[in-house]
Structure 1
Amino acid sequence: MLLSLTVFLAVILAALLHASWNALVKGGRDKHLAMAAVVIGQAIFAVPVLLVVPAPNPASYPLMAAGVVLHLGYQLFLLASYRTGDLTQVYPLARGSAPLIVAAVSVVVLGVPLEPLQLGAVALIGLGIISMALVRRGAGQRNRHAAALALTTGCFIASYSLVDGMGARQAGTALGFYGWMTIANALIFAVLAALRWPAMLRRVPTEGRRLLFIGGGASYAAYALVLWAFTQAPIALVTALRETSIIFALLIGVFILREKLDLAKVVATMMTLAGVVMLRMAKQSS
């Protein structure tokens, strides 16, 4: 499968949307409320789409169930990461570790053939982003706790990327697969929130209305584009390209959230951009 210009641009758009909703969660005063609104908002957008797309092949149900669990783990660990670290540290670490894991599993376990230039591009994107582990807090100390949480989040991202990519292909409909998975994920998240933060959940329709529609819509559209791309190109390449959202996250973090820009962040961004250029130039054959 080829990484065509259409797929390339779709994934770049998904990266922008993904960085945007993450910034909304990180910038919110109540991060539990923000995450709940985004997760539930995804389901609101999924329902009308399911009325016009085919139902997924029942053979994909086990992968769908696994995806629900992995997305839930990702959301909970991402939430914990944002409570302790900056967007410009947590986001790059979480997203940057994922393409390296996905590429390794794709090549070694699944036997997906990638050209040397493609592998080099994936590695450069991942290493450029994961170098954010070097970022220090304002006091000059490394935020190891936030880094550990972000790396764990990255493991969940890599896992659900592989599972969802295979599931969407097996389902025969990326939007149908994603829609049912999104609704199940939102229901389980809402139940957990009702048990853990009941007062917060009741505030979602009022205080969280903006995030419910803007954040939820951006999140739904971002991953819908990515899942479609998974059915059109190698999962490892799509995952690596998607994580260029770090560039958008860095710009949002610095210019909107007023987080500090330092040399490590600039170098990481340049490495990521170089990897994107290499990935686009690479011979696509898989």
Structure 2
Amino acid sequence: MTPQVTAAVLLAAVTHACWNAIAHKITDKLVGFTLISGGGALIGFVAAPFAAFPAAGAWPYLIASALIHIAYYALLMRSFRLGDFGQAYPIARGSAPLVVTALAALFVHEVPDGWAAAGIGLSCAGLTGVALWGLRGRRPDWAAIGAALATGLSIAAYTVVDGLGVRASGSAIGYIAWLMIAEGLALPAYMLWLRRGRTFAALRPFAAVGLLGAALSVAAYGLVLWAQTKAEMAPVAALRESSILVGAAIGAVVFKERFGAPRIWAAGLLVVGIGLMLHAG
């Protein structure tokens, strides 16, 4: 991974944690995710005419990814309803890299070497520690944890699918634009059907912050997809999960959630893992 790719993925990590925090902050989760996904679709419609149309070989991946993203939004909404941001976000993000590593090795033969494998393993252990060690002395909310783990599986699935799709597309920007369009229309359509005449009244108070979340979401995923055209999937996915540190900080500062010494130690383990992973690259 070159310094340019590393910087892009780290920027994606920050923007990703920020748009998730916006989605969590909006009390009505359907309103928040409708604005973010619908705003992403609008950005896709604006960008699509200025980018090359994705090659035919990319469309099966693009359609599959759109369906997985819809499931991801539903699972993430449930995670945020049930758990704290500082719990749901780390578990969802922390469970994904291990699955991505396994899927990338199975389907595209990207088998990590010793240093990379050790780095990815330590990163995932650190991420899991950040998520779980703060629960000491409290009974885990297994429903919230289960929803977050299911979200992590959906993240792993679309990461691998999009890693293959963007490479087959011939145009990273074109692929991103059409993916935003394909995935972004489902939740607005569902809200229009569910709330009918009350939709726009519910959306209006949160329109500005929701559209900001949409812009951050598109930027975050666009940077990651571009990085996947320049480096292997598993290290990109693992480094992207450094967003958990930003998410934990947001949970502590903005949402006043617990962030004690155990999570700091786990964050240090994550830094060591990232260092080993980059050394291998």
Same fold by TM-score greater than 0.5: yes
Deviation at 1:189, TM superposition (A): 1.9
Q: Does 1:129 align with 2:120?
A: no
Query: What letter is aligned with 1:28?
Result: I
Equivalent residue number for residue 101 of structure 2: 103
Choose the corresponding residue for 1:217, options 215, 218, 221.
215
Counterpart CA distance in 2 for 1:276 and 1:190 is: 38
Counterpart CA distance in 2 for 1:200 and 1:249 is: 32
Contact kept, 8 Å, 2:134 with 2:258, in 1: the verdict is no
Equivalent residue number for residue 206 of structure 1: 204
Deviation at 1:21, TM superposition (A): 0.6
For the residue of structure 2 that corresponds to 1:168, the secondary structure is: helix
Farther off after superposition, 63-72 or 117-126: 117-126
Contact kept, 8 Å, 1:136 with 1:143, in 2: the verdict is no
Counterpart CA distance in 1 for 2:207 and 2:180 is: 19
> What per-residue deviation string (whole Å, max 9, x for no partner) do you get for residues 202-247 of structure 1?
2465112123321010001000000111111101111111111001
Structure 1 portions without partners, runs of 5+: none
Counterpart CA distance in 2 for 1:33 and 1:267 is: 36
Equivalent residue number for residue 50 of structure 1: 48
Deviation at 1:267, TM superposition (A): 2.6
Q: How does 1:55-204 map to 2 (within 5 A)?
A: 55-131=53-129, 132-136=131-135, 140-198=138-196, 201-203=199-201
Question: Normalising to structure 1: TM-score of the pair?
Answer: 0.93
Deviation at 1:193, TM superposition (A): 2.2
Percent of residue pairs bearing the same amino acid type: 31
Counterpart CA distance in 1 for 2:107 and 2:183 is: 28
Contact kept, 8 Å, 2:54 with 2:171, in 1: the verdict is yes
Report how many aligned residue pairs link the two structures.
280
Q: Does 1:243 align with 2:272?
A: no
Distance 1:4 1:73, change over 3 A: same
Farther off after superposition, 75-84 or 21-30: 21-30
Structure 2 portions without partners, runs of 5+: none
Counterpart CA distance in 1 for 2:39 and 2:201 is: 14
Equivalent residue number for residue 29 of structure 1: 27
Q: Which runs of 4+ in 1 moved over 6 A?
A: none
Query: What letter is aligned with 1:133?
Result: L
Counterpart CA distance in 2 for 1:64 and 1:94 is: 22
> What per-residue deviation string (whole Å, max 9, x for no partner) do you get for residues 182-204 of structure 1?
11111122222223344663246
Contact kept, 8 Å, 2:58 with 2:168, in 1: the verdict is yes
Question: Normalising to structure 2: TM-score of the pair?
Answer: 0.94
For the residue of structure 2 that corresponds to 1:141, the secondary structure is: coil
Distance 1:202 1:249, change over 3 A: same
Counterpart CA distance in 2 for 1:78 and 1:113 is: 29
Choose the corresponding residue for 2:38, options 17, 37, 40.
40
Counterpart CA distance in 1 for 2:118 and 2:145 is: 24
Counterpart CA distance in 1 for 2:227 and 2:43 is: 19
Counterpart CA distance in 2 for 1:53 and 1:81 is: 35
Deviation at 1:278, TM superposition (A): 1.6
Distance 1:61 1:108, change over 3 A: closer
Of Structure 1 and Structure 2, which has the larger fraction of its residues in helix? Answer: 2
Farther off after superposition, 185-194 or 215-224: 185-194
Counterpart CA distance in 2 for 1:199 and 1:251 is: 38
Query: What letter is aligned with 1:29?
Result: T
Farther off after superposition, 188-197 or 245-254: 188-197
Contact kept, 8 Å, 1:40 with 1:212, in 2: the verdict is no
> What per-residue deviation string (whole Å, max 9, x for no partner) do you get for residues 31-69 of structure 1?
221111111111222222212110100111111110000
Counterpart CA distance in 2 for 1:259 and 1:195 is: 35
Counterpart CA distance in 2 for 1:155 and 1:199 is: 35
